[in-house]
A and B are shown apart, each in its own frame.
Chain A
Amino acid sequence: QVQLVQSGAEVKKPGASVKVSCKASGYTFTGYYMHWVRQAPGQGLEWMGWINPNSGGTNYAQKFQGRVTMTRDTSISTAYMELSRLRSDDTAVYYCARGNSGYDKYYYYYYYMDVWGKGTTVTVSS
């Protein structure tokens, strides 16, 4: 079955970096974008960006540009999200999610995430 398995919880100090992994199985890894979404405690969902596992191309949310790096290792069907210069407000659950995207004849885009990992809790505390 299609699944995304994420790495375990992390505790980091302010200013440090964290790297979260997401291992895909049950489908062709390079055939779908991988999105990263985070959710701070008691808050809503926040999109961080995506990586195209086939080309390695990325698209980061403006808010995270300069601090986030998304990479992949196609040999082990794994995507990574690294966030640097951590602050206390980066404390959140980080999800990877398989993305589907395209556009119709009117160039209306469709983007949606159909398979999600269980999430990785990242706590930033001194």
Chain B
Amino acid sequence: QSVLTQPPSVSAAPGQKVTISCSGSSSNIGNNYVSWYQQLPGTAPKLLIYENNKRPSGIPDRFSGSKSGTSATLGITGLQTGDEADYYCGTWDSSLSAGRGYVFGTGTKVTVL
């Protein structure tokens, strides 16, 4: 039961755009930076976005991140079949009641139609 909520799935045709939302609270997204991870089937997660909107070397600019208030969004443009994967948001949660720690979103499966 993650504190970060994502839609279970999104889909679009090749070449189109999808957005994935990640909803949290003031103890996590509202006051900390968000990162995004891509997990292709049967593989380890891979860092896609860090510090809300920065891309590691080698990540194409088709992937973008943004944050507003207690929500964050991952955008993927020019969708490709190779983008079919699970996507997770993540951030630090400063809540004492929840036990300070890193939290992941519930995950979103992207399907290319």
A110 touches B33 (CB 8 A): yes
Chain A proximity mask over B77-113: 1 for CB below 8 Å, otherwise 0 = 0000000001010111010001111111111000000
Q: Tell me, yes or no, whether A117 is within 8 Å of chain B by CB.
A: yes
Q: Tell me, yes or no, whether A125 is within 8 Å of chain B by CB.
A: no
SS class, residues of chain B in contact with chain A: strand
Chain A residue with the shortest CB-CB distance to B56:
A114
A45 touches B107 (CB 8 A): yes
6 contacts between A and B (CB under 8 A): A37-B45, A44-B2, A62-B98, A62-B101, A109-B32, A113-B45
- Please list the 5 inter-chain residue pairs (A to B) with the smallest Cβ-Cβ separation, ordered nearest first: A62-B99, A112-B35, A110-B33, A112-B50, A47-B102
User: B: which residues have CB within 8 A of A?
Assistant: 2, 31-33, 35, 37, 39, 43-47, 50-51, 56, 86, 88, 90-92, 94, 98-107
Report chain B residues within 8 Å CB of A113. Answer: 35, 37, 45, 47, 90
B47 touches A46 (CB 8 A): no
Query: Which residues A26-69 have CB closer than 8 A to chain B?
Result: 35, 37, 44-47, 49-50, 59, 61-63
Chain B proximity mask over A69-89: 1 for CB below 8 Å, otherwise 0 = 000000000000000000000
